[in-house]
Structure 1
Amino acid sequence: MTDSWTQAVRTRLGLGRLLPLGGAADGAWITERAAAAALRAAAAEVPGAVTGVLRVALDDPESAGPPHFPAPPSALPVGPLRVSGEVEVLVGEVLPMAVGRLRDALLAAADGMGLEVAAADLRVAGLLDAAPAPVTPAEPPARAEATGAAAEAAQAVPGVAYLTGVLGRPVQSAADHVRIEIAVSAGHRALDVARAVRAAVGGELPVVVLVTAADVA
C-alpha cells in the first residue's frame, strides 16, 4: 500500500500545475507537464537557441478568477499565464534575435494549445559551442479503458487520441459535475478538442475536461 501511495504522489507531482485552457466558461485544464512538453517541442524547432526547464504559472495571481465549472484538484484559477525558463544560445548568434525567435515560437505554441499567455520570460544561462543532441520526448500518459455513454462520446470526438486516468478513473462522476481526462492528437488544438468533448458528452451535470497530453502521435 505504501509503495502504491508513494508512486501515486510522485505521479501527481510530476504533472505540475493544472493550467486553465481558454477562459472561465470553457471548463478545461491542461497539466503543466503536457503543456511544457508541447512548448519544448516547438522550441526545439528554433535554430540557435536551446531551452532548459520551462515553467508555466499565472501572470498575475491577484487578478485571476474562479472558473464557471468545478475545477480539478489543485487547478490554478483562470487568468493569463506566464512562461518562464532558461535558454542557452549558440556562439555566433545575436542574443536578442535568438531569444526573440524562441519567445515567438513559445507564444505561438501556447496559442496553438489554447493557453492564454501574457508573456514569456527567458533568461540566457550560457553559450553553446554546438547544438546538443535532441532530447527524447517524455512518454505521454498511458491509455485508460473506460465504458459508458460519456466515455464513448468523448472517445468519438475528432482529436481525442484516447482517454487517460492520471487523476483516477478517466471519467469521474461527482455530485455536481463530470470530469473527463483526455490525450489530444497531434494537429489538433487542445482547447477546441476539450470544448468539443464537453459538447459531445452533454448531460444534466456540467462537464469539465482535463488534457493530460497534447500532440500525441
Structure 2
Amino acid sequence: MFKKTNLFSISTAVALSLLLVSSTLASEASEASEASEASEASEASEASEASEASEASEASEASEASEGVYSETATGMVELVVQAICDGDIERHLGMHQRKIEPDPYYEEKFSIFHEACNDAGIAEMEVTSDFDDDVMQEQKRRYLIDANIVMGDGAVYTTSIRVAWGSIQGAEGSEPVETWRLAGLSRVQVPILNEALSRN
C-alpha cells in the first residue's frame, strides 16, 4: 500500500510537472505569437505611414514644382519669368515653356547678368505692355506677345519680350491636366537684357 501510494504520488508529481511545463510552454508560445503579431502590425503600420508620407511628399513636390511655372493670367507669366531668373533657377525658367526650346549660346551669360542685377540692386518697378489686357486674353486664350520694362533699384532698365499661350499642363501624378498660361517661346528662350538707352544711370 505504501509503495502504491508512493508511486501514485510520484506519478502525480510528474504529471503536475509536465502540466506545468506544458502550460509554461503554451504561455510562452502565446506571448511569442502576440509579440510577433504586434511586431507585424507595427511594421505594417509603419510601412503604411511611410507610404502615405511618401505619397504626400511626392504630391507636395509635384504641386510645388507646378507652382511657379505657369500663371492664371497672361501677364502674370512675365512676373514668373523675372522671379525665376532673380532666384537663379534656370531649370524653373526653362520649365515654363510649353515645348522644349534651345537657349541661345549666350543664354547663361544673360541669365547671370540679370540674376546679379536683381541681387545687387533689386527691382524698383516693372511695366508690362501688350496689345490686349488680361481680360481679353483670358477670354480669347490665344498666343500673345508681351513686352516688359524692368527698372532696377539703381536706375538700370532691362527689357524683354515673351510670347505666352493658353494650354494644358499635367499636374501631380494621377490628377487631371491643368488649363493655364505657359511660355510659348520665340525662336530662343528670352531673358531680360540691359537697355542702355532707357537706363537712368
Work out whether the TM-score is over 0.5.
no
| Structure with greater Cα Rg | 2
TM value normalised by structure 1? 0.22
Flag the structure with higher helix content.
2
Flag the structure with higher strand content.
1
TM value normalised by structure 2? 0.23
